Amino acid sequence: MKTNNENLKTLLNRFYDDASASQIEREIADGDELMSRFTSPHPSGQAVNNVKDLLGAELSGRRKRRYAFRVAGSVAAVLLIAISILFTTDTLNTRVEPEQSSSVYAFDSKSLDESELYAEFEEIEESFVQVRTGGWDASESDDLDELESEFDEIAGNFWKG
């Protein structure tokens, strides 16, 4: 295996001519010798321990904050799911009352007594008998006009939404 000096010389020869490469190699060797004469300062054991304590405290604080954010996020997610389940089940259990019909034959069962109901049934029955026997003349009745206006109203309301 080649030494570092031989590798350096090969590398420098790729970029410079021989004279320049030799001079650069000598300057690098002089710099290495100068650096080896002076030792680098080493921190005291107490300074190293202080730095380790500071880093440990900072990292511990970060861990605690991360843990707090994770717990808060988990609690928020659970609450969101629970609230959505409560609202969903509440809306499913809510009974929707049907709207009152606007039909001519809609009636309030509390306000009519039995005799009024029988009178209504007899009127409807008479209308069926007249239609079957041909005794009902559509040109004389306003019922068709009323029915047509109701259908127009329904069609208009349908497109309004």
E strands within the chain? none
**Residue ranges of the domains in the chain?**
4-37, 45-93, 114-160
Which tens digits make up the pLDDT trace of 55-90? 888 888 788 888 888 888 888 888 888 888 887 776
User: How many other C-beta atoms lie within 10 A of the C-beta of residue 124?
Assistant: 11
**Which three-class secondary structure state does DSSP give residue 115?**
helix
pLDDT tens digits, one per residue of 1-41: 346 777 888 889 899 998 999 999 999 999 988 888 887 78
pLDDT score at 139 = 61
* CA-based nearest residue to 101, from 150, 156, 160, 144: 150
CA distance 140 to 136: 9
